[in-house]
Structure 1
Amino acid sequence: MTKRQEICLKIFKALELLIQTKTLSEIKVIDLCQASGVSRSTFYTYFYDIYSVPQWIWDDSMQPTLYKIGNTLTWDEGHKLMFENLLSRKALFIKIYWENNYHSILEYGYRGGYDAVKKNVENRKKHVWSDTELVELDYTIKALASLTTKWGRDGMVVPVNFIVQIFNDHVPQFLKELCDT
């Protein structure tokens, strides 16, 4: 483990504890630094603000899963792995999903998911998106980000295979074909 990974993990673990008693917007950087034993200057070496910590964890969880859909993973494979990764960090994400602003995981995940699927299909399939397809992609990813948020807010009790089936049932056929073949 690199020094960067070690420090980021200490900060993540501290956030995971603090988020059990406060909302993310109530947690201050100084609280996180005290709980993690990391100085403020070190914190700002790796993160911009308090919101960038769960975003870092999100990206770490999505890099081998959601962000690979349409590239090396099918629609269902990527989402199954995504939900399994979120479930492995349940203590954090069931609390984080209650945040609702531009920095929230709902919005951040939507932007990352949209960009990844769009880029992966363009690069792998050399697909040129029509305006109509981009609207469908946008609305589909936004709806699925909201479903993921609901799953998190509900305590992640719906089994992974069932939630993946729900995702599969709510994707336009052309999009699934672009991601799966």
Structure 2
Amino acid sequence: MQHVVDEFVFQNDEIARSIILAMNELAETHTYEEMSIRQICEKANVSRTTFYRRFDGKIEAAEWVMRRVSAIGLAQIGRTLTWHEGITMTLAATKRFAAFFRAGGEWGDSAARRIMDDFTSYHVGMFIDTVTRYKRIRLDEGLEYVLRFWVYSLCDALFFWRISDFAIPVNQMAEYLERAVPAEIHEMLQEPVSLTGDEVFFKLREESEENIA
């Protein structure tokens, strides 16, 4: 499962792959505050110049991972993936980078809040864009509020799932999260406008239906 998730997260960005995987490995024993740029570069086998050419710093790298994890899953709901497929992809990728996300939760409050706010705002923007641009549906103020509230609830659920050490299997967790989607929002985005993303979900599933659990 790991190499399939990595394929879609990094999409041939080998510098980002080296840096993020190095940070994920370091996060097994270090918080983000404890790991240094020097340690990251040594483990990733890149120079400081290369690191800073790709990322402004550790926080930006963390934000990039969260967005990429979302981009292959949740952000594709209603575009190329169904709710179950999109949620499953993001859960699988979150579990793949478990140490990375765990270390983020141990960062200073201001940094952790910035990352969470960015993660939430990104999702709200992507769902609104899918509804209005891809589905050509106008969201009234009430529905937009419901969508925002659900996204914040989703982020909280992902946080508690992660700190539980992923006690609930991916597929089961995906089912729970899909049931919590407000009915009108679910109906708007259930049918993808394109099926080109099916290869993402099915390739992951073919890797091992057992491993994804």
- Identify the TM-score tier after normalising by the shorter chain: 0.7 to 0.9
Aligned counterpart in structure 1 of residue 47 of structure 2, from 39, 49, 52: 39
1:72 partnered with 2:80:
yes
By how many angstroms is 1:162 displaced?
1.9
Conservation of the 8 A alpha-carbon contact between 2:131 and 2:139: no
Q: Deviations over 1:13-41 (max 9, x none)?
A: 22112212221233332332233232222
Aligned counterpart in structure 2 of residue 125 of structure 1, from 119, 122, 135: 135
Could you tell me the TM-score, scaled by structure 2's length?
0.75
Hey, what's the Cα distance between the residues in 2 that align with 1:146 and 1:156?
14
By how many angstroms is 1:116 displaced?
1.1
Greater CA drift, 144-153 or 27-36: 27-36
Greater CA drift, 32-41 or 10-19: 32-41
The AA in structure 2 aligned to 1:27 is: M
By how many angstroms is 1:7 displaced?
1.9
Corresponding residue number in structure 2 for 1:179 = 189
Aligned counterpart in structure 2 of residue 156 of structure 1, from 166, 175, 190: 166
1:145 partnered with 2:155:
yes
Structure 1's unaligned 5+ residue stretches are none
Between the two proteins, what is the percent identity of the paired residues?
A: 22
Corresponding residue number in structure 2 for 1:84 = 92
Hey, what's the Cα distance between the residues in 1 that align with 2:69 and 2:137?
27
1:102 partnered with 2:113:
yes
Hey, what's the Cα distance between the residues in 2 that align with 1:164 and 1:98?
25
RMSD: 2.2
Corresponding residue number in structure 2 for 1:18 = 26
Conservation of the 8 A alpha-carbon contact between 1:97 and 1:152: no
The residue matched to 2:113 in structure 1 has which SS?
A: coil
Q: Which has the higher contact order (CA 8 A, sep 6+)?
A: 2
Greater CA drift, 167-176 or 142-151: 167-176
1:49 partnered with 2:60:
no
By how many angstroms is 1:89 displaced?
2.7
Hey, what's the Cα distance between the residues in 2 that align with 1:146 and 1:48?
27
The AA in structure 1 aligned to 2:113 is: Y
Structure 2's unaligned 5+ residue stretches are 1-6, 192-213
Could you tell me the TM-score, scaled by structure 1's length?
0.87
Greater CA drift, 41-50 or 62-71: 62-71
Greater CA drift, 6-15 or 24-33: 24-33
By how many angstroms is 1:64 displaced?
2.2
Conservation of the 8 A alpha-carbon contact between 2:78 and 2:190: yes
